[in-house]
Structure 1
């Protein structure tokens, strides 16, 4: 996924009201940007951190800038981390279409945001006359508290646990269900669940796996020009 124009570099002043962030750009201009992330952003919203913003040309937007990435350093040098949770569905869709995610390759068609379950929408529904249906739920991962280890979630997510239960129901109905964790950082060597942050989500994940829900994780390469899904990342017990 390429950005229409290269991102703008700046320093974070503060994140507030959950969806807003004040940033001083390298040009010296101070702007208010939208923060498209509902999580805690643990370790990624420190005042003074180097951040990267996109800028919209739309005249109707109240805040033209959007916070896209932040530089994080766990002692091995800074790495770009993507915090925009609006991107993963598009990134995964493009990667599946290109055949880069082998676990779900070879389906005839792909649809996004399809209604299913009681009152939910599946991120991606794959359909094929021979393979049947595959329900793919995607979660953005940006938390890392130990070098090389990416974690999810970074805050309590009742909605995430609900999605795992609904994926289990799809398996019970005879379909495939895949939980895909997209790690928007290139320093991830392993992935695990942050059970200390949300033990109920970890329990829901264990139940879903027992029910037959598949789980995979992929990392990304990020630059101020683009984000590209790269390699699968193994789970750490």
Structure 2
């Protein structure tokens, strides 16, 4: 697995070296920038997984750099602030910083905050990817399933009537495309509150769905039976 990357932007060489050495020992790939100009030059190449940005730097200060950075990227940013600079912390958060760390830096706190910031970023990206993947209209065999309106449309564009439970099952299949699901998994993920272990009513429901979406329901190709296990879509 490729190491997560961190870019440290601070005008103090000793501090940069200390942070780089510690984070490197923690398994991160670390780059350095001595000022905002070097920061943006580095960002023109590859966007890191996290930026650690000092507030007080000569030339373009960290808050101005953060404002400009937010116009081009949503990379997580942790601000380095002096102890007691509440105004800097507030401004940084308002401008889009994800967290801040007070100087002098405690390395244990640094490690914990970096790990938390990267974890939040991973979760946010996953949620955005999932929302994008499972939004709008998605193909379901020759049909189109509108996930937002909970409607199913046939190959000609005409609507196919489906019950709430049938739509829930169709959505479960979309979310698990290519994965074999047994009856209990289908009923549980479709949030059927009345399901019981080994409930075979799912077979009847899938049979009804097949009659609506399959060109030949007696030889299903969209929702296939995996003998002795369950069903698979795709």
The TM-score by the shorter chain falls in which range? Answer: under 0.3
TM-score (norm 2): 0.27
Q: Which has the higher contact order (CA 8 A, sep 6+)?
A: 1
* More helix, by proportion: 2
Answer 1 or 2: which has greater strand percent.
1
